[in-house]
C-alpha cells in the first residue's frame, strides 16, 4: 500500500498544485482573450482611423462632384467601385470622407465630456458637501431625459453643424463620466494613504492629481471606448434625421437617409455606409471588452 493511502494528508499538496494550476490556466486564458480582443479591436479601429486620415489621398474622386448623366451607376462601372448616388457622386469617395467626418467628430465628442466629467466628478466626490449635492442634482436631471432625445432637441435648437454636434454631445454626455468618477473619488478619499496625506499637510491639488486621479481614471477610459460607439451611432442618427453635418459634406447617416428611395434597386447605396458603421462599432466594442478584461474593471 502506498504512503498516500496510509497518509491522506499527503494528497493535499497534489490537490493544492492542481487548484493553483487551474487558477493559473484560467488567468492565462483570460489574459490571452483580453489581449486578442484588444489587439483585434485596435487593428480594426486603427485601420478606420488611417482610412479617415488619408481620405483625400485614397479617394478616387471628389466626393462633392456631381455627374447627373451617370447617376445611380452600378458598382464597378466607369471606375466607380461602389457606384454613384442619385446625383452622380462617387459612393466610395463619399464613404471615405464620411469616415473622416464621423470618426473625428466622435473622437472630439468623447474627449471633452471625458475631461469635464472626470474633473468635476473627482472634485465633487472628494470635497463632498454642497458641491457634491449640486452635482448629484444635475446628474439626476440630465438622466431623467433619454439621451438621444435630449441630444436631438439641443441640435435642433442650436442648428446643425460640426461645432453644434460636439457642444450638444458634451452637454449631454459629461454627466456619465462625472457620476463614475464621483463614486470612485468618494471611495478613494476614505483610503488610509489619502487620510495620511491630508494629515501630513499635502495640498489638495497635489492629492487629487497625483494620488486620486491615477487610481480612478481606468473605468472612465473603458467607458470612453464604448461611449465613442454610441456617439458614432448618435452622429449618424442626426445625419439620418437631417440634423447632422450640413450638405454637401458627406456623412454616413446622411448617405443612408438619401439612399432610402432607392433601396429596392440600388441597395448598395445604404449598405456601404451601414457596413462602415458596423465595422467601426466592432472595433470599438472589441477595444472596450479587451480593456475591461485586461484591466479587470468591475
Average pLDDT over residues 178-200: 86
Handedness of CA 163, 167, 169, 170 (dihedral sign): positive
Distance CA 274, CA 152 (A): 21
pLDDT at 14: 53
Per the CB < 8 A criterion, the answer to whether 186 and 125 are in contact is yes
C-alpha cell at 11: 494528497
pLDDT of 177 over the 90 cut: yes
State percent of the chain over pLDDT 70: 88
In the predicted structure, residue 131 carries a pLDDT above the cut 60: yes
Domain membership of residue 4 (yes or no) is no
| pLDDT at residue 17 greater than cutoff 50 | no
* Angle of CA points 47, 48, 53, to nearest 5°: 95
pLDDT (tens digit per residue) in 68-82: 888 888 888 887 889
Task: Classify 232 in phi/psi space as left (phi over 0), alpha (psi -120 to 50) or beta.
Answer: alpha
Average pLDDT of span 158-174: 88
Q: 84 forms bridges with which residues in the sheet? A: 90
| Confidence class for position 296, pLDDT limits 50, 70, 90 | low
CATH number (domain holding residue 50)? 1.10.3720.10
Q: Does the residue 3 lie in any domain?
A: no
The predicted model gives 54-62 an average pLDDT of 91
Residue 54 lies in a domain: yes
Whether residue 2 is contained in a domain is answered as no
Question: Domain for residue 59, yes or no?
Answer: yes
Q: Look at the chain and report how many structural domains it folds into.
A: 1
Query: Which three cell numbers mark 181?
Result: 468618477
Model confidence band, residue 94 (pLDDT cutoffs 50, 70, 90)? very high
Alpha carbon of 44 to those of 32, 47, 264, 286: distances in Å? 18, 5, 31, 9
Please compute Rg for the chain using Cα positions: 26
Rounded distance, CA 96 to CA 81, Å? Answer: 12
Q: Is there a domain that residue 198 lies in?
A: yes
Average pLDDT over residues 269-287: 92
**Residue among 35, 95, 5, 45 nearest 228 (CA):** 45
Report the pLDDT averaged over residues 87-93: 92
* pLDDT higher than 70, residue 30: no
Expressed as residue numbers, the domain containing 37 is 10-294
The reported pLDDT for the residue numbered 96 is 94
CA dihedral 269, 274, 279, 282 (to 10 degrees): -170
Establish if 63 belongs to a structural domain.
yes
pLDDT digits (tens, 9 = 90+) for 210-263: 888 888 888 898 889 888 888 998 999 898 888 888 888 888 999 999 998 888
Express as a percent the part of the chain with pLDDT over 90: 27
pLDDT digits (tens, 9 = 90+) for 97-115: 999 899 988 888 899 999 9
Supply φ then ψ for residue 30, to 5 degrees. Answer: -65, -40
Cell representation of residue 8: 491522506
d(CA 27, CA 174) in angstroms, rounded, equals 34
The three grid cell numbers given for residue 161, joined into one nine-digit string: 453643424
Average pLDDT over residues 77-101: 89
| pLDDT band, very low/low/confident/very high, at 13 (cuts 50, 70, 90) | low
Q: Is residue 5 part of a domain?
A: no
Cβ within 8 Å of residue 280, ≥6 positions away: 44, 45, 48, 99, 102, 103, 229, 232
**How far apart, in whole angstroms, are the C-alpha atoms of residue 55 and residue 118?**
33
Q: Which residues pair with 80 in a beta bridge?
A: 77
The alpha carbon torsion through 39, 43, 45, 46 (nearest 10 deg) reads 120
Across 24-38, 43-57, 70-84, 161-175, least confident range: 24-38
Instruction: Give the count of beta carbons closer than 10 Å to the beta carbon of residue 133.
Output: 11
**For residues 281 and 85, what is the distance between their CA atoms, to the nearest angstrom?**
24
**Mean pLDDT, residues 146-166 taken together:** 86
Amino acid at each position: 500500500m502506498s504512503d498516500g493511502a496510509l497518509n491522506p494528508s499527503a494528497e493535499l499538496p497534489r490537490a493544492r498544485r492542481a487548484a493553483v494550476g487551474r487558477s493559473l490556466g484560467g488567468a492565462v486564458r483570460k489574459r490571452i482573450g483580453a489581449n486578442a480582443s484588444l489587439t483585434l479591436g485596435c487593428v480594426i479601429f486603427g485601420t478606420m482611423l488611417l482610412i479617415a486620415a488619408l481620405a483625400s489621398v485614397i479617394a478616387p474622386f471628389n466626393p462633392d462632384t456631381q455627374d447627373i448623366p451617370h447617376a445611380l451607376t452600378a458598382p464597378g462601372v466607369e471606375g466607380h467601385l461602389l457606384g454613384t448616388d442619385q446625383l452622380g457622386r462617387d459612393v466610395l469617395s463619399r464613404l471615405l470622407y464620411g469616415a473622416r467626418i464621423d470618426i473625428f467628430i466622435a473622437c472630439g465628442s468623447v474627449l471633452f465630456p471625458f475631461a469635464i466629467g472626470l474633473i468635476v466628478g473627482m472634485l465633487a466626490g472628494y470635497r463632498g458637501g454642497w458641491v457634491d449635492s449640486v452635482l448629484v442634482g444635475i446628474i439626476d436631471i440630465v438622466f431623467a431625459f433619454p439621451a438621444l432625445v435630449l441630444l436631438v432637441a439641443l441640435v435642433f435648437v442650436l442648428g446643425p453643424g460640426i461645432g453644434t454636434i460636439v457642444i450638444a454631445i458634451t452637454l449631454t454626455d459629461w454627466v456619465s463620466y462625472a457620476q463614475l468618477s464621483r463614486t470612485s473619488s468618494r471611495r478613494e478619499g476614505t483610503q488610509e494613504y489619502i487620510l495620511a496625506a491630508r494629515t501630513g499637510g499635502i495640498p489638495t491639488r497635489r492629492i487629487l492629481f497625483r494620488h486620486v486621479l491615477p487610481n480612478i481614471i481606468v473605468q472612465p477610459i473603458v467607458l470612453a471606448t464604448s461611449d465613442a460607439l454610441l456617439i458614432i451611432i448618435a452622429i449618424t442618427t442626426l445625419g439620418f434625421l437631417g440634423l447632422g453635418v450640413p450638405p454637401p459634406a458627406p456623412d454616413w447617416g446622411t448617405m443612408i437617409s438619401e439612399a432610402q428611395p432607392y433601396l429596392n434597386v440600388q441597395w448598395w447605396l445604404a449598405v456601404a455606409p451601414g457596413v462602415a458603421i458596423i465595422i467601426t462599432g466592432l472595433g470599438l466594442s472589441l477595444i472596450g471588452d479587451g480593456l475591461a478584461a485586461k484591466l479587470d474593471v468591475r
